[in-house]
């Protein structure tokens, strides 16, 4: 007899977290491992944000807060949406959770009934389909193409919509491909969505600020105001503000949904960490100039990695607009034999053999619903990235 519930059979351990943990363990055991698996900036949280947290501790901001966020943080989020996205929300339309992941979890659990379909363009962030499955819904993946730089085409979106579609989960810049949609590409998708008023839009804008080459970020409700009433615009401080461990995510959308999310959260975690909320107030209201400085470094790393991976035998790597990921195809390595003698039949084999042979940890594409490919996070030192790419080139060159 199984100890765990039937619902647990619908959810897998997060591959991004599992591989990051494995790399950490191998390193602790003394192996020379370069970990390109975790999606988190290698930069420290800026000092002004850390000081706001210290001030919150010393000021005894250490008790329970309002379940879905302190008024000061909600005000900062309202101001952020107005300033950066041209979106007007009331504080009652804003919710704050323990990371973007909790906000997504709450939103899907609060809305999805058995049989509801949730459209997810692939490659997708590993957690989307599992959360949908856990909520009892049916994930409907739409595979994008490398030739389209992994961007969803309006015809493919329209073909996937059925009377049962509840949500489209949209993510630009994308984890894992880094693809970001410009104004025209976004408009082509929102033109489809306006025709289907029963479809809700959950847009995960977590990588909003991480765009390069003067790319202009846009979000669905900004491009198509007719979608405002059925869009949940999700964001957080983890990536742009180098605050992954602080766990603050937030979203704004229809009041009825925000209220339901609050009810769910009141019965699970209650408020997000009080100190981290004060740090997030400073992140959103304080100086923003360090983001451009960090992006300059990220852009250089992206260019380095794309160029070096395209020089590796059997790899093809598009140059994405944003995030800190690249998503090379390893189709040219499939069917070959690794130095260990093992056949590389899948992208998971590729990632496993690469880790064994060269100590480079990457996440296999099948975890993101589209392979054969793998994800590299280039949010690591330029020196390590260069060394890792040399090792990948050597590994690819050793396949027979």
Which positions lie near ligand GLU, rule CB under 6 A? 14, 16-17, 38-39, 101, 125-127, 175
Least gap, CB of 54 to ligand GLU (angstroms): 26
In the complex, which residue's CB is closest to ligand GLU? 39
Least gap, CB of 40 to ligand GLU (angstroms): 6
Residue 104 or 315: the one with the smaller Cβ distance to ligand GLU is 104
- Residue 372 · residue 146 · CB < 8 Å: no
Residue 99 or 314: the one with the smaller Cβ distance to ligand GLU is 99
Least gap, CB of 393 to ligand GLU (angstroms): 24
Distance CA 230, CA 264 (A): 20
- Residue 103 · residue 234 · CB < 8 Å: yes
Instruction: Kindly list the distances between the CA atom of residue 315 and the CA atoms of 94, 137, 329, 353, 362, in Å, as whole numbers in the listed order.
Output: 43, 35, 6, 15, 14
Least gap, CB of 5 to ligand GLU (angstroms): 22
Residue 14 or 288: the one with the smaller Cβ distance to ligand GLU is 14
Least gap, CB of 327 to ligand GLU (angstroms): 12
Residue 96 or 396: the one with the smaller Cβ distance to ligand GLU is 96
- Residue 333 · residue 352 · CB < 8 Å: no
Instruction: Kindly list the distances between the CA atom of residue 284 and the CA atoms of 206, 324, 376, in Å, as whole numbers in the listed order.
Output: 14, 21, 28
H or E, element range at 109: helix 100-109
Residue 104 half-sphere exposure toward CB, CA atoms < 13 A: 27
Residue 16 or 95: the one with the smaller Cβ distance to ligand GLU is 16
Least gap, CB of 371 to ligand GLU (angstroms): 16
Q: Locate 100 and state its tokens.
A: 């973007």
Residue 35 or 280: the one with the smaller Cβ distance to ligand GLU is 35
H or E, element range at 188: helix 183-193
Q: Are strands 374-377 and 363-364 parallel, antiparallel or unpaired?
A: antiparallel
- Residue 364 · residue 344 · CB < 8 Å: no
| Cα pseudo-dihedral 366, 370, 371, 373, rounded to 10 | -90
Least gap, CB of 51 to ligand GLU (angstroms): 26
Residue 175 or 222: the one with the smaller Cβ distance to ligand GLU is 175
Distance CA 3, CA 340 (A): 38
Least gap, CB of 172 to ligand GLU (angstroms): 15
Residue 101 or 230: the one with the smaller Cβ distance to ligand GLU is 101
Q: Where are the alpha helices (DSSP H) in 207-288?
A: 220-223, 255-266, 274-285
Residue 13 or 335: the one with the smaller Cβ distance to ligand GLU is 13
Least gap, CB of 378 to ligand GLU (angstroms): 12
């Amino acid at each position: 007899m199984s100890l765990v519930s039937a619902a647990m059979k619908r959810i897998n351990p997060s591959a991004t977290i599992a591989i990051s943990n494995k790399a950490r363990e191998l390193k602790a055991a003394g192996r020379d491992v370069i970990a390109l698996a975790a999606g988190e900036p290698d930069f420290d949280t800026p000092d002004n944000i850390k000081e706001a947290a210290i001030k919150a501790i010393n000021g005894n901001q250490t008790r329970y807060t309002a379940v879905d966020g302190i008024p000061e943080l909600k005000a900062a989020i309202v101001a952020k949406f107005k300033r950066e996205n041209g979106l007007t929300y009331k504080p009652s339309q804003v919710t704050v959770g323990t990371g973007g992941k909790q906000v997504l979890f709450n939103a899907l659990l609060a809305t999805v009934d058995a049989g509801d379909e949730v459209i997810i363009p692939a490659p997708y962030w590993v957690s989307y389909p599992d959360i949908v499955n856990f909520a009892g819904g049916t994930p409907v993946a739409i595979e994008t193409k490398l030739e389209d730089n992994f961007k969803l085409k309006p015809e493919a979106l329209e073909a996937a919509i059925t009377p049962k579609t509840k949500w489209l989960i949209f993510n630009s810049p994308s984890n894992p491909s880094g693809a970001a949609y410009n104004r025209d590409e976004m408009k082509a998708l929102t033109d489809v969505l306006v025709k289907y008023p029963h479809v809700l839009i959950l847009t995960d804008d977590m990588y909003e600020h991480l765009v390069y080459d003067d790319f202009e970020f846009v979000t669905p409700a900004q491009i198509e105001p007719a979608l405002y009433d059925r869009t949940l615009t999700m964001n957080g401080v983890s990536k742009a503000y180098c605050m992954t461990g602080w766990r603050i995510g937030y979203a704004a959308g229809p009041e009825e949904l925000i209220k339901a999310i609050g009810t769910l959260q009141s019965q699970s975690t209650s408020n997000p960490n009080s100190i981290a909320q004060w740090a997030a107030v400073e992140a959103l209201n304080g100086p923003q100039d360090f983001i451009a400085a960090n992006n300059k470094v990220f852009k250089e790393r992206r260019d380095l990695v794309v160029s070096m991976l395209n020089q590796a035998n059997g790899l093809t790597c598009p140059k994405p607009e944003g995030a800190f990921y690249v998503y090379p195809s390893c189709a040219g390595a499939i069917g070959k034999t690794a130095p260990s003698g093992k056949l590389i039949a899948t992208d998971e084999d590729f990632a496993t053999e690469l880790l064994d042979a060269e100590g480079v940890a990457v996440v296999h594409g099948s975890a993101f619903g589209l392979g054969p490919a793998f994800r590299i996070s280039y949010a690591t030192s330029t020196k390590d990235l260069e060394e890792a790419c040399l090792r990948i080139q050597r590994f690819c060159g050793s396949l027979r």
